[in-house]
């Protein structure tokens, strides 16, 4: 497990990118829960965001690939729309310890 940030550094409804052990990952905070994924679109095998830390759609309820608009559920990483529908993001284990967020990459 690798420490990525203090809990207070990621507000509700936000997403943020990190590099953990050489792997690009991102974390989303939704309804008090933290969800971490490898920053890699299963369709095009490229990072999901064009702008730094921008992984969510306009509603803030789905993860969006900025390259081709695929939409993924925050809670599971499952693709529900777009060219990789039926695929999923690679979910990573998350732990909270000492008011910090830890990710297993």
pLDDT tens, residue by residue, 48-66: 998 999 999 999 999 999 9
- Measuring CA to CA, which residue among 42, 89, 93 is closest to residue 68? 42
pLDDT tens, residue by residue, 21-38: 999 999 999 999 999 999
Confidence of residue 45 (pLDDT cuts 50, 70, 90): confident
Confidence of residue 44 (pLDDT cuts 50, 70, 90): confident
pTM check: above 0.75: yes
* Weakest mean pLDDT among 10-14, 41-45, 66-70: 41-45
- Tokens 């729309």 map to which residue? 81
CATH 3.30.565.10 fits 2-104, yes or no: no
Q: 3-class DSSP state for residue 9? A: helix
pLDDT at position 20 is 93
Confidence of residue 105 (pLDDT cuts 50, 70, 90): confident
């Amino acid at each position: 497990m690798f420490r990525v940030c203090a809990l207070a550094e990621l507000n509700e409804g936000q997403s943020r990118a990190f590099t953990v052990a050489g792997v690009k990952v991102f974390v989303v905070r939704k309804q008090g829960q933290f969800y971490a994924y490898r920053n890699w679109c299963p369709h095009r095998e490229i990072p999901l965001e064009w702008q730094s830390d921008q992984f969510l759609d306009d509603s803030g309820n789905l993860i969006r690939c900025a390259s081709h608009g695929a939409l993924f559920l925050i809670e599971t990483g499952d693709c529900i729309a777009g060219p990789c529908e039926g695929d999923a993001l690679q979910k990573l284990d998350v732990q909270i310890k000492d008011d910090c967020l830890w990710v297993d990459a």
